[in-house]
Amino acid sequence: MEPPSLHGRFLSDVLPRIRKDPRVAGVAVAGSIAAGHPDVYSDVDLIVVIDDEAFDGVMAERLELIGSWADLVAGFTGEHVGEPRLIITLVGPPLLHVDFKFVRASGFAERIEDPEVLWDRDGGLARALAEQMLRTPPLDLQWIEDRFWVWVHYAATKLGRGELFEVVGFLSHLRETVLGPMAAQRVGALPRGVRRLESIAPDEARDLRATLCGDDLHDAGRAVLACVELYRRWLDDTAVVIERRHRAEELAVRYLRDVIG
Provide mean pLDDT across the span 24-50.
Answer: 94
Domains of the chain by start residue, with CATH: 5-131 (3.30.460.10), 141-260 (1.20.120)
Cβ pair 109, 129 in contact under 8 A: yes
pTM of the model: 0.84
- Residue 1 has a pLDDT of 52
- Residue 81 has a pLDDT of 80
Indicate if the pLDDT at residue 131 is higher than 60.
Answer: yes
- Residue 108 has a pLDDT of 96
**Per-residue pLDDT tens over the stretch 134-182:** 887 789 999 999 999 999 999 999 999 999 999 999 999 999 999 999 9
- Residue 216 has a pLDDT of 94
- Residue 137 has a pLDDT of 79
Indicate if the pLDDT at residue 44 is higher than 60.
Answer: yes
**Per-residue pLDDT tens over the stretch 196-231:** 999 999 999 999 999 999 999 999 999 999 999 999
Cβ pair 124, 111 in contact under 8 A: no
- Residue 2 has a pLDDT of 67
Indicate if the pLDDT at residue 112 is higher than 90.
Answer: no
d(CA 179, CA 191): 10
Provide mean pLDDT across the span 18-26.
Answer: 97
- Residue 183 has a pLDDT of 97
